[in-house]
Homo-oligomer: A and B are copies of this chain.
Amino acid sequence: MEAALAEAARAPAHGDVPVGAVLVGPDGQLAAADHNRREELQDPTAHAEMLVLSAAARRAGMWRLEGHTLVVTLESCAMCAGAAVAARLERIVYGAADLKAGAAWSLYNIPQDRRLNHRMELVAGVLERECASVLADFFGRLRSRSPDGAGGVDERPVLDQAGPG
């Protein structure tokens, strides 16, 4: 999670909400690391999780990432949780819960839906305080810069202590 936090810290330099992710292979080696680049690339699909899954699979020449663990600072949204299932991951480990859009416990539990063709382990709340702080600091700075105090980003995650633990 420290590596994912280090990735998250790189996002604000290009105006992106600080969410970082790393993918760890079955051998424990780092398969990919990246952070949210939606604003930088102007691509709605460029969340941290999507970038690491796509990069690792293309590099390995294998879309099935069985045995891999995705480590991400914020609970994944429906797109990213769905991608984790599509990639056949073994595990998602996340830091802060996202009550507003989280799809790995909060609103949905897509990675563990028995109706889908793959399920995985979920571990939540790892370095939760640190992961949440990175986001709170980012949105706090945005608000302090904004004349109306509302900030310029419309997707502030609702952070919470809840989660599958």
Q: Are B100 and A82 in contact (CB under 8 A)?
A: no
Residue A11 at the B interface, CB < 8 A?
no
Q: How far is the CB of A129 from chain B (nearest CB, A)?
A: 25
Q: Are A63 and B81 in contact (CB under 8 A)?
A: no
Prevailing SS type, chain A contact patch: loop
Residue numbers in B under 8 Å from A103 (CB-CB): 78, 82
Residue from A46, A61, A110 having most chain B Cβ neighbours under 10 A: A110
Q: How far is the CB of A77 from chain B (nearest CB, A)?
A: 6
Residue A144 at the B interface, CB < 8 A?
no
Residue A57 at the B interface, CB < 8 A?
yes
Residue A148 at the B interface, CB < 8 A?
no
Number of A residues whose C-beta is below 8 Å from B? 43
Q: How far is the CB of A62 from chain B (nearest CB, A)?
A: 6
Q: Are B100 and A44 in contact (CB under 8 A)?
A: no
**Considering the chains assembled together, what is the distance between the CA atoms of A139 and B161 in angstroms?**
46
Residue A33 at the B interface, CB < 8 A?
no
Residue A54 at the B interface, CB < 8 A?
yes
**Considering the chains assembled together, what is the distance between the CA atoms of A38 and B58 in angstroms?**
10
Residue A127 at the B interface, CB < 8 A?
no
Residue numbers in B under 8 Å from A83 (CB-CB): 44-45, 79
Residue from A38, A79, A101 having most chain B Cβ neighbours under 10 A: A79
> Interface residues, chain A, CB within 8 Å of chain B?
38-39, 41-47, 50, 53-54, 57-58, 60-65, 77-83, 85-88, 100-101, 103, 107-108, 110, 113, 115-117, 154-155
Q: Closest 7 A-B residue pairs measured CB to CB?
A: A78-B82, A79-B82, A44-B87, A44-B63, A44-B86, A79-B83, A45-B54
